[in-house]
Amino acid sequence: MSNMLQPQIILLKEGTDTSQGKPQLISNINACMAVVDAVRTTLGPRGMDKLIHGDKGVTISNDGATIMKLLDIVHPAAKILVDIAKSQDSEVGDGTTTVVLLAGEFLREAKPFVEDGVHPQLIIRSFRAAVQLAVQKIKELAISIEGKSLEEKKSLLERCAATTLSSKLVGGEKEFFAKMVVDAVTQLGEESRLSMLGIKKVQGGTMRDSFLVNGVAFKKTFSYAGFEQQPKSFDNPKILLLNLELELKSEKENAEVRLSDPTQYQSIVDAEWNIIYDKLDKCVKSGAKIVLSRLAIGDLATQYFADRDVFCAGRVMEEDLHRVASATGGAVQTTVNNVVPEVLGICERFEEKQVGNERFNIFSGCPAGHTATIVLRGGADQFIEEAERSLHDAIMIVRRAYKNSTVVAGGGAIDMEISRYLRQHARTIAGKSQLFINSYAKALEVIPRQLCDNAGFDATDVLNKLRQKHALATGEGALFGVEINTGGIVDTFANFVWEPAVVKINALTAATEAACLILSVDETIRNPKSESAEGGGAGMGGRGRGRGMPGRGRGMRRR
């Protein structure tokens, strides 16, 4: 009785919503599984695409990170899956669907334990132990492609790129694009920055019309009259890069000049012309045949350059200008005074070329290298957008494999092998954690299973064959994965279905971290919006009522 008379302690602000304990945990797991189901079918070479219709128009994609970004998820626990997809995308580029799928499967496996009253921390501890063993095993199984000649290395990298591209919309042309991507990345060199590789999209033509420029290409910029008379191609030209305007400035409306003699007026007008002619003259004297500027180059300057057989382009995008500077060995100038030869760039060939409906300025054979441009062609806009996302994944993968040159067998082979290894390891452990590590191992089978489901094969049948093959004591089955064309199993390594080891390691660690994080949350507290956000006249309880009604003070509630 005495308990009932005790005053109630109000700790949280009125209107605060709390949900806690086991139901909260199960609800979080269910929310995450719903998100996973949205991207589940996009995995692998036979994965389906998603059409997302939002404020930004229509996007068709099967890139996990892109879909997760566009889904606009509001559930706080499920947002963690969006974050791991983004992190996988920025860290290694590919495996974004894999990472979401794994995290979801780990949670699915943990759910029955949570329902049976197992403390989440026990599951988390076992999962963390399992991921360490898994990563160790991947490193043991990884095969190095180090120390090979450049040609050999290129063909190996092409296989990695082809594996990535096989699951994309451009999978039909994977050999064509894999070669292009590898050429682009090797052109960039080891210390490559992704910003040095440009992808330009031009509608029209077929995908086979796409091409790689060993240098820089960008669309013809806004141009004034006089542009037509300029030469459109040069061999070994010098290039001057500017960050200043070359046009006559109009005076400010409130400018005031007092003159005592009308004849002085002409000298003021002439001064401005003299200044710009002086600038243009210095540009031409520098010996540059191509003048590019980030700011406008006016009609006077355009005509002046045309008369002297110099090509100019104003309003060049900043990233393109920096890529030209990096490729040609030039430096961007903010003044035309004292232009020394060292700041001029040089390339073997410059030409303005028609690509589809657009005209492109193409600088090729650049001495400094370190930059390349892929010009993508294709029918619909959405198609080219998706092709760009696919190439981004392939480029990231090739860069990673180029730097950390160890690869593992794809097609679910590595997942099955780790699964087998963890099951074996679990037998050596006493206590509950044996069950948890076993369920972690089972969760890893989701990758080959999903590959089969997406291709329309009988997943149970294929998985049984795979388990059987991987269980061989000789270890020869470690490289066997799903044969996507016939619905059987195949040595994926021998068939060049390769992925960099770093992709798998990152996917496993990120997915396990996310699963453990979600399992460790047992309460959600939703704070109500502060009164100031509610608008005048409405207090906490009367959200949206009596808003702005006369005579009601702030914070008063309508009962």
The reported pTM is: 0.74
State which residues of the chain have pLDDT below 70: 1-19, 147, 190-192, 249-254, 369, 473-475, 529-559
Structure tokens at 169: 């919309």
Residue 558 has what pLDDT? 42
Which residue(s) pair with 298 in the sheet?
none
Q: Which domains occur in the chain, in start order?
A: 17-144+409-520 (1.10.560.10), 150-214+375-404 (3.30.260.10), 216-250+268-368 (3.50.7.10)
H-helix or E-strand spanning residue 373: strand 372-378
Which residue(s) pair with 144 in the sheet?
406
Using an 8 Å Cβ cutoff, are 357 and 340 in contact? no
HEC profile for 25-73? HHHHHHHHHHHHHHHHHHCCCCCCCEEEEECCEEEEECCHHHHHHHCCC
